[in-house]
Amino acid sequence: MRTALAGLLLSLWALAWLPASLHAATPIGAIYGAQMACDPALTGCLAAPLRVTVLCTVTCPFRSSFSYTDSTRFWGAGTSGTGQCVTSINSGLTWGACAAQAFTTGSDENYAGASDGSVIAASTTTGPATCTIRRSIDNAVSWSTVFTLIASCQSFGLEGQTLYCLGDGRCEWITAAGGVSKVFRSTNNGQTWALGESLAGTVCLGSGSAWDGAAGSFPSNTPAGCGGSGRMDVAAGDVWTQSAIWAGTQGDCWGAVVYNGVGRAICQAAGAAPNALYSVRDSTGGLIASLTLPGALTTSIDAGGPSIAPFTNTLYILATLAAGNTGVFISRDNLVTFNLLTTLTTTTMRGGNLFLNGGCIFITYGGPSRFAKICP
């Protein structure tokens, strides 16, 4: 009797650890999109509607991130170049100002919530130009400088930097400083920092980088003229190396994504609306897939043109439509086809970024900046 009972308990325990897609009771209609828990190739796993909600159209963040310790607390930079910190305590519905930074006008500020509840800010300060990382432990009421480097942390344009903090205490700031690309690194939620890699050659735009702690991609145009050729730096774990500088055939490569665990560049290629050509490239510039986004312009995926790959074989992309607004596209079949999910009313996506929080995708986009969420 005991043996039979033990066997039954073991069987139940094993069943509990089966993937969600194998549980017969899984409600298929509720597990698609940002909460996809089944393989879309399975019979009956159909697309459920995704709801796009525009949360903010005035005084919205220019770039944004979430807090690991409070799922409703978001952080962001206000208007680029002002040093203004903004924060939301209701999942992005409303935003208020927090203590401003002494960041230089014309630089791109970055804010990130760390896993210990602190918030990190990074950009350039004056007197002389200095790479500066600051940290607050009281919800941005006060700040302390935790790292400085005498160099201007800004590359071509306004979007030359990206700041990440992960749930394991690691933070990285990827930027152009002193004429080369640099990676600054912390392993203790931003309390202390050290210079990691210096990658020869100043890149154009760094805000298109992507890093999840295990892999990363940092593509851009080459320094000379910032157009026509491609460059890509990649990360294995948290160590970055320069992989390739490509010939001028791939078009503009300013977007990045960690797709199926590997860093990829998202590029623009020749083509005219409404059937513009896009591509996903590997670290050598080699073609992984050609993307046809119906109704999209060829100049849309730029300045980090938002993309995110939260699940295997699934990629979301924001791209400007021929009509002038922004389309939200999804591929759930390993980049073979893309469908237009919805449109967002804006004329540009510069400065945009995406993050996942609470089963939803949150988007900072547009000019002036807007903030929205996509939920199942």
Domains of the chain: 53-207+358-376 (no CATH), 208-350 (2.120.10.10)
Question: With 0-12 CB in 10 A as exposed, 13-18 as middle and 19+ as buried, what is 54?
Answer: middle
Phi, psi of 11 (to 5 degrees): -65, -40
Is the model's pLDDT at 171 over the cut of 90? Answer: yes
pLDDT top residue among 143 and 63: 143
- What is the structure's pLDDT at 349? 61
The whole model's pTM is what?
A: 0.80
Identify which of 259, 261, 307, 314 has the alpha carbon closest to the alpha carbon of residue 38. 314
Q: What is the CA radius of gyration of the chain?
A: 21
Is residue 22 classed as helix, strand or coil in its secondary structure?
Answer: helix
Judge if the upstream peptide bond of residue 128 is cis by omega within 30 degrees of 0.
yes
How far is residue 161's CA from residue 181's CA, in Å, rounded to a whole number?
10
- Give the mean pLDDT of the chain: 73
The predicted-structure confidence for 264-277, as pLDDT tens digits, reads as follows: 888 766 554 445 56
- What is the structure's pLDDT at 221? 58
How far is residue 64's CA from residue 92's CA, in Å, rounded to a whole number?
10
- When pLDDT is cut at 50, 70 and 90, the band that residue 113 belongs to is very high
Do residues 231 and 246 make contact, with C-beta atoms less than 8 angstroms apart? Answer: yes
How far is residue 60's CA from residue 41's CA, in Å, rounded to a whole number?
38
The predicted-structure confidence for 3-58, as pLDDT tens digits, reads as follows: 444 443 334 333 333 333 333 333 323 333 333 434 444 333 444 556 788 898 87
- When pLDDT is cut at 50, 70 and 90, the band that residue 298 belongs to is low
- What is the structure's pLDDT at 40? 45
CA 374 to chain CA mean position, Å: 15
The predicted-structure confidence for 225-265, as pLDDT tens digits, reads as follows: 455 556 778 888 888 888 777 665 556 676 788 999 999 88
